[in-house]
Structure 1
Amino acid sequence: MKHLTSIQRFWISLVLVIPMLIQMLAMPFHWNMPGYTWIAFITTTLIMLVAALPYWTSAWAAFKHHNANMNTLVAIGTSIAYFYSLFAMITGRPVYFESAAFISVFVLLGDTMEERMHNNASNALKKLLDLQIKSAEVLRDGKFVQVPLDQVQVGDIIQVKPGQKVPVDGVITSGKTTLDESMITGESIPVSKKVGDDVVGSTINGDGAIQFRATKVGKDTMLSQIVEMVKKAQTSHAPIQNLTDKISGFFVPTVLIIAIATFVIWYSFLGATLVQAMLFAVAVIVIACPCALGLATPTALMVGTGRAAKMGVLIKDGQALEEINDVKTAVFDKTGTITVGKPTVTDIIGNQDQVLRVAASLEASSEHPLAKAVMNAAEEKQVEPQTVTDFAVVEGKGVQAVIDGQQAFVGNDKLLADYQISAGMKRRMATLQDEAKTVVLVGLAKQIISLIAIQDAPKPSSAQAIADLKARGLKTVMLTGDNERVANAIAKEVGIDQVIANVLPNEKAEHVKALEQNGKVAFVGDGINDAPALTTANVGIAMGSGTDIAIESGSIVLVQNDLRGVVKAIDISKKTFSRIKLNLFWALIYNVIGVPIAAGVFVGFGLQLSPEFAALAMAFSSVSVVTSSLLLNKAKIGGTEPVASSTSQPA
């Protein structure tokens, strides 16, 4: 059975346990399944072989090292229930096969969830590798030919046409273009590139053709380094010490000692028969069976994560849920996380309709993101572009054309050398630039008539989310590849405590590690460039509108593109983890009360607990733990439910 996965073992065991479930449900109606004892024996034996055997193996390995863990609890509980039931079946007594069977099924459910988590981690790495193209146009014998990527060497001259991906890292030797480097820097606006500039593999070329010399290939490229960092972060994360394992460390030996002592005392000193003494000992084992203890954590996790999902917060594993409970610092990427992720027009200085008409008319033919921002603003104001003539690109400055018989232009501040601008408008331009906004100048007939300020603005909910986190005692940090002026302006607007700017992906993980010296860190991001930081942080939180790689790398996903989900994740964690501790308390208190009764301490007062009633008490403790977990559905989380967002996407 070793070749079976946890998922396969779970489904096989679940099918096998159905007859025992039917019998349990039918008992209050005094109906007994014909041949039930033999059916229970056969199905439980199969479940023991399929499900429980790995736990017995693990428990034995722990025993040899003088340790006890959750697997010890499972092994003891299932083996005692099974072998006593086997004895009871032979001697005509009531059997308890269902206890052994149901314990195995419940524990396997947790293993199934963990296996799915590991599969997600593997998918994240696969998607990172899929970003890389398989071939490149390399100069060979005086002409460009397609060669497999693994044959590209350092020093090769490579050609990249408009719209293609850059195959490897290098330096431009010919041509100029714009590159979408959002996967590396997180910056949504494409970057202009010319001869001598660096290019990064798997970034997307704009509308220009370039040639570049390869400087890094294979495992040395930045994308490959990101992949390796994600692998290292995922494998180096030590599994959290489960609270149940800590309890089992002293719980299991204590129960076994009490059971043995009960048998010896009754048989050797109190005149009980061998069977009577064994029944007292079995009652102790059965009532202390770890079913409720095993349910205490997974049921709370299931309800808590289910409640979170309804609120737009997907929590992938119990470790993340427990880790975020102790987070001291929340670190955020900027573009697409705190901000909307696309440039928009924020200010128009001058006659709005006239300005947008001129700007939109000239920008209608451009695919640049700043041009798109202008066109979107014109569309919102219902301003229609006009036909222009004599359209031309002014190198490094902007564009110009004739509109309504007048020379018009749209461009950057380099146009100031050629055109006149009023002192007041010049001061206003400086103010906008101090706010880290990109300023576009619009003019007619050698006069600058307007300024258009464009910025990737913060999401409306970001400031409130940051304030809520700070109210819960968390330090907030922005970690971004953007320039310091932009980062500081956005940070000031939303209330971020600390800014770390101009950071590359391979540096993000290092900064996260440094911040962990002051306590546990949660990192929130949405891009491919955030994957190493997401997996390095104690808790990685991915935006649902982000890339697949970010979503797979994060242990928590905010389905709605709303940072208030981080606040809800923390609140859910605190409520769920508190409920887990309460569940463990109730699971143990039954043993504190029930074990002495099962051991026959109160027989003189007419209070005795047979194995049958011990099993009933054990079942009742399980019901109480499940009920306690279900109450999480009524707990108040974050004050209000998340507001639907037009930018939200399924994760």
Structure 2
Amino acid sequence: MTCASCVSRVERKLGKLDGVTASVNLPLESARVTVPAGITDSQITATVEAAGYKATVRVPKVTLEPAEHAEHVAGGVASGDHPPSAAAAKLRPRLIVAAILTVPVFLISMFPAFQFPNWGWAAGILALPVVTWAAWPFHRAAAINARHFSSTMDTLVSIGVTSAYVFSAWQLFADPRMTDHPAGMEGMDSGGLYFEVAAVVTTFLLLGRYLEANAKKKAGDALKALLNLGAKDATILRDGREQQLPADRLAVGDLIVVRPGEKIATDGIVVEGSSAVDASLVTGESVPVEVGPDSPVTGATINTSGRLLVRATRVGAETTLAQMGRLVSQAQSGKAPIARLADRISSVFVPVVLAIAAATFGGWLLAAGPAVSNADLRAAFTAAVAVLVIACPCALGLATPVGLLTGTGRGAQLGILIRGPQVLEDTRTVDTILLDKTGTVTTGHLAVDGTAAFGTATPAEVLRLAGAVEDASEHPIARAVAAAARLAERGHDRSGADAGVLPAVVNFRSAPGGGVQGTVGGRIITAGRTGWLQENGIDPDAAQLAAFSCAEDSGATAIWVAVDGEPAGIISLRDTVKPGSAAAISRLRGLGLRPILLTGDNAAVTAQVAAAVGIAPEDVFAGVLPDGKVEAVRKLQAAGATVAMAGDGVNDAAALAQADLGIAMGSGTDVAIEAADLTVMGNDLGQVAQAIELSRRTLATIKTNLFWAFFYNAVGIPVAALGMLNPMIAGAAMAASSVLVVANSLRLRSFGK
């Protein structure tokens, strides 16, 4: 395929099959075809061949579509059946030969100093390989299209180049003596030779197509790099022995040994060991993530420190990396609504241009009057050829898909997945964004916010004793208290290996939902809720109860700490705000969005979080159940808002689907990711703002491409028809327009750097 006309024709042919819809992508040279159960692969490929192209069917390993409605990807190229990576290599020898032969043809034809007797014959002989062998890709595609009563940009090029050469040869044969003297410019005035036009136009167009092929390969490099991130081999533990095997042979349940510096071969759960994992290749976040037993890990991330033993939970096409590749590929092979306009125009563009070229030729002859001179004939011919060459709709066909290809590829590198081209349009119109609190604005993990002490006890002593007894429990609150106590110990004691180690606990016992108790350094430590203290015969006084109530009213989760039967203090815990949330919300405001905080938590907690990140009190919805989140989205939509929703949990999935733009945080559940339009693989709210910025930048790039593609043809064709454009300049301009569109799209590769 070479232009938007090719795309349109393949789509129309496939669309004539009952129940079939197809979206053809020019730079990827592929088609995503949705078919009913009764359509076979051979029918699809036969239909593509009937349109004048070749195709093979690639059936995805895992189909996410319902059984009665399958999707296939057909890949193929009109003239040569080769992928974009090989297209440049095939064009290179033709371009080199064309350039070598065109230089002398151009010099001989245009500069009298290089001319000699009968130079026209030499120019014709040198130009012949250029307009035949070098231009063969254009002629071959034009011939195939003609057999199917169709036309594309290759038709325009082939007719233009052939006409220039044949007209010149006819002039030379009609008057063999027209260049028998060095002062050939006078001869040209009386005869008119266009060998240099045919050669130069061919060379420029080959150069343009060669540069396009290289640029399209670069545009697709991001997806290729993403899919190559995965580990090639894995070390597994079987029967107590380690053995190597290819990563694609891993099975669910395999125990994988991951040493420091190695990539984690597949998604899994840490069974043994602790380490910091560099997830930047997948999430785009530079800060390593601490993992330990029961921590989930993602394939293609890098183990930076300790040895890990990981149990595989997903392999092959089910891994996060494979799902990312699938989402990016689907987005790149789709079409933004704005691209449909280009397709509709290109479907009638070439026949209209052929008619304009014929009308131009006829119009010039009519304007010359009854007595048509050679000069009049030359002027008419030059204008008609210039129209054919300047009008080639290459840039039109590349404007949208190359921009989409580059933008989604860059997004994948940043950990941002754009589900489809429609999302680009949606990001432009959203004006309100609903943010789930837990896991989106906050970390989703409790952390000690403060410690209050009673009597002679100190806050540090209360935290240390509580941490020692809580360290024996697996409860999330207990883990948070123990972690804070260890951190405090480490801060107070930097003397050596024992820094951060808590005192031992004996006679430990716990009650689910109540608290814990144990002996630390000969003292009985009791920690937990009010009922747990009362159950153990401990009764706080009125002032202590008031302090506890105050802590809870502030939105914190509070627990008592008692020593030897007497209340010693209170520890407050909160779900902490992510460090970048306030800055991210400021960025969202800068994008013209109104941020609204939505959560099932109580009003006190939510108000505090909203104040910390800069969300207005009137934009806080607290105590909202999952079905209430959907209702909140609908209510805003009914009021005229275009709503985006960012969330990460199962309870957010319905609201993500209801929103005009659903944004899933990649640290969340598969259900949330599946329901969303945009997915950020990290857990930083700043990536949500970055995702919207990238989507809008990609859409703006596509619109710029389309504007210049339309503007170029709208201006170029009338100028050429008026005889104000040399065909050689037209050929250079046409090639340059395609390269300009691709180069403009490639600027997206630097987004976020």
Q: TM-score range by the shorter chain?
A: 0.5 to 0.7
Shift of 1:412: 1.1
Tell me the amino acid that sits aligned with residue 327 of structure 1.
V
Equivalent in the alignment of 1:399:
516
The structure 2 residue matched to 1:360, chosen from 457, 460, 467, is 467
Alignment of 1:529-608 (within 5 A): 529-547=651-669, 550-551=672-673, 554-599=676-721, 601=722, 603=723, 607-608=724-725
Task: Establish whether residue 18 from structure 1 lines up as the match of residue 94 from structure 2.
Answer: no
Shift of 1:488: 3.8
CA distance in 2, matches of 1:107, 1:537: 39
Alignment of 1:208-357 (within 5 A): 240-242=336-338, 245=341, 249=345, 252=349, 255=353, 258-266=356-364, 270=368, 271=372, 280-302=383-405, 304=407, 313-315=416-418, 317-350=420-453, 351-357=458-464
Alignment of 1:63-78 (within 5 A): 76-78=152-154
Equivalent in the alignment of 2:57:
4
Tell me the amino acid that sits aligned with residue 12 of structure 1.
H
Equivalent in the alignment of 1:609:
726
CA deviations 1:556-603 (Å, max 9, x no partner) are 44354322223333444444444443333333333343212321x1x4
Alignment of 1:93-112 (within 5 A): 94=198, 102=209
Q: Secondary structure at the match of 1:23?
A: helix
Q: Is the 8 A contact 2:399 2:702 kept in 1?
A: yes
Indicate how the Cα distance of structure 1 residues 47 and 358 shifts in structure 2: closer, same or farther if over 3 A, else same: farther
Q: Secondary structure at the match of 1:456?
A: strand
Q: Is the 8 A contact 2:406 2:746 kept in 1?
A: yes
Q: Is the 8 A contact 1:80 1:285 kept in 2?
A: yes
CA distance in 2, matches of 1:343, 1:48: 68
Indicate how the Cα distance of structure 1 residues 262 and 333 shifts in structure 2: closer, same or farther if over 3 A, else same: same
The structure 2 residue matched to 1:386, chosen from 500, 503, 508, is 503
Tell me the amino acid that sits aligned with residue 407 of structure 1.
I
Q: Is the 8 A contact 2:630 2:658 kept in 1?
A: yes
The structure 1 residue matched to 2:525, chosen from 408, 411, 415, is 408
Shift of 1:338: 0.9
CA distance in 2, matches of 1:358, 1:442: 8
Equivalent in the alignment of 1:447:
566
CA distance in 1, matches of 2:726, 2:127: 26
Indicate how the Cα distance of structure 1 residues 396 and 305 shifts in structure 2: closer, same or farther if over 3 A, else same: closer
CA distance in 2, matches of 1:561, 1:395: 30
Q: Is the 8 A contact 1:106 1:295 kept in 2?
A: no
Shift of 1:240: 4.4
The structure 2 residue matched to 1:625, chosen from 732, 736, 741, is 741
Shift of 1:398: 1.8
Indicate how the Cα distance of structure 1 residues 33 and 523 shifts in structure 2: closer, same or farther if over 3 A, else same: farther
Indicate how the Cα distance of structure 1 residues 557 and 275 shifts in structure 2: closer, same or farther if over 3 A, else same: farther
Indicate how the Cα distance of structure 1 residues 555 and 391 shifts in structure 2: closer, same or farther if over 3 A, else same: same
CA distance in 1, matches of 2:436, 2:633: 12
CA distance in 2, matches of 1:451, 1:48: 83
Q: Note the residue ranges of structure 1 that are not aligned, 5 or more in a row.
A: 61-74, 121-132, 134-230, 642-651
Segment of structure 1 superposing worse, 312-321 or 424-433: 312-321
Equivalent in the alignment of 1:80:
156
Q: Secondary structure at the match of 2:156?
A: helix
Q: How many aligned positions are there? A: 501
Shift of 1:13: 4.5
The structure 2 residue matched to 1:376, chosen from 466, 478, 483, is 483
Shift of 1:443: 0.7
Indicate how the Cα distance of structure 1 residues 628 and 46 shifts in structure 2: closer, same or farther if over 3 A, else same: same
CA distance in 1, matches of 2:669, 2:512: 34
Q: Is the 8 A contact 1:260 1:281 kept in 2?
A: yes
Indicate how the Cα distance of structure 1 residues 403 and 289 shifts in structure 2: closer, same or farther if over 3 A, else same: same
CA distance in 2, matches of 1:419, 1:596: 94
CA deviations 1:358-410 (Å, max 9, x no partner) are 22232222211111111111221125443444433346522223344443211
CA distance in 1, matches of 2:732, 2:438: 57
Segment of structure 1 superposing worse, 21-30 or 452-461: 21-30
Normalized against structure 1, the TM-score is what?
A: 0.63
Task: Establish whether residue 420 from structure 1 lines up as the match of residue 542 from structure 2.
Answer: no
Q: Is the 8 A contact 1:106 1:294 kept in 2?
A: no
Q: Is the 8 A contact 1:13 1:47 kept in 2?
A: no
Q: Which has the larger radius of gyration?
A: 2
Indicate how the Cα distance of structure 1 residues 614 and 343 shifts in structure 2: closer, same or farther if over 3 A, else same: same
CA distance in 1, matches of 2:508, 2:710: 80
Indicate how the Cα distance of structure 1 residues 258 and 341 shifts in structure 2: closer, same or farther if over 3 A, else same: same
Q: Is the 8 A contact 1:312 1:560 kept in 2?
A: yes
Q: Note the residue ranges of structure 2 that are not aligned, 5 or more in a row.
A: 1-53, 59-72, 103-125, 170-194, 228-251, 253-326, 490-499
Q: Is the 8 A contact 2:336 2:421 kept in 1?
A: no
Q: Is the 8 A contact 2:386 2:730 kept in 1?
A: yes
Equivalent in the alignment of 1:648:
none
Tell me the amino acid that sits aligned with residue 338 of structure 2.
N
CA distance in 2, matches of 1:567, 1:409: 45
Tell me the amino acid that sits aligned with residue 615 of structure 2.
I
CA distance in 1, matches of 2:510, 2:586: 45
Indicate how the Cα distance of structure 1 residues 9 and 274 shifts in structure 2: closer, same or farther if over 3 A, else same: farther
Segment of structure 1 superposing worse, 380-389 or 80-89: 80-89
Q: Is the 8 A contact 2:383 2:725 kept in 1?
A: no
Shift of 1:261: 2.9
CA distance in 1, matches of 2:127, 2:677: 45
The structure 2 residue matched to 1:524, chosen from 629, 634, 646, is 646
Equivalent in the alignment of 2:235:
none
Segment of structure 1 superposing worse, 20-29 or 354-363: 20-29
Name the Cα RMSD after superposition. Answer: 4.9
CA distance in 2, matches of 1:21, 1:510: 60
Identical residues among aligned pairs (%)? 34
Q: Secondary structure at the match of 2:645?
A: strand
CA distance in 2, matches of 1:49, 1:331: 56
Task: Establish whether residue 461 from structure 1 lines up as the match of residue 580 from structure 2.
Answer: yes
Normalized against structure 2, the TM-score is what?
A: 0.55
CA distance in 1, matches of 2:135, 2:628: 59
